[in-house]
Amino acid sequence: MTATDKILALKHQAWRTGDLSFLLLDHQIELLEIIDSRKDRITAINCSRRWGKSRFFITYAFWKALLKPNAQIMYAAPTRVQVQMFLLPHAKEILATCPPELQPKYSGQDHTWTFPNESIVRDAG
């Protein structure tokens, strides 16, 4: 087994245990802790450009979908072009670390990722 294979196996195990923190940077983990500790339905976040908002939020959406069966999660951007430019490349990169048995099915027509536990992440723009 090569070093690359070992790393991928560790990433697969992280998905299986429901811990996607390996996909986040330290400052994103801090935000995750803040969001998860709040009871508010809506939280405003003020971040500068290049902070990693798109990657953070699609990771967060996939993470919640993985942990909560039948969840309905919306990821929205102002336009469809922005979804395609920002969201889809991150999603592809993130899901490359996901083991086959947990891979969501993407429907380009419905703009949804459906996970094996029936959770759905929908993109809109």
The closest alpha carbon to 26, from 57, 62, 51, belongs to: 51
Nearest CA to 20 among 71, 66, 51?
66
**What are the distances in angstroms from CA 45 to CA 31, 84, 95, 123?**
9, 22, 25, 20
Give the count of alpha carbons within 13 A of 11, CB side only: 17
Residue 83 CA, chain-centre distance (Å), reads 14
Residue 83's pLDDT is: 82
66, 119 in Cβ contact below 8 A? yes
Q: For 18-55, how does the pLDDT look when each residue is reduced to its tens digit (9 = 90+)?
A: 999 999 999 999 888 888 888 877 777 788 888 888 89
In one-letter notation, the amino acid at residue 81 is V
State yes or no: pLDDT of 112 exceeds 90.
yes
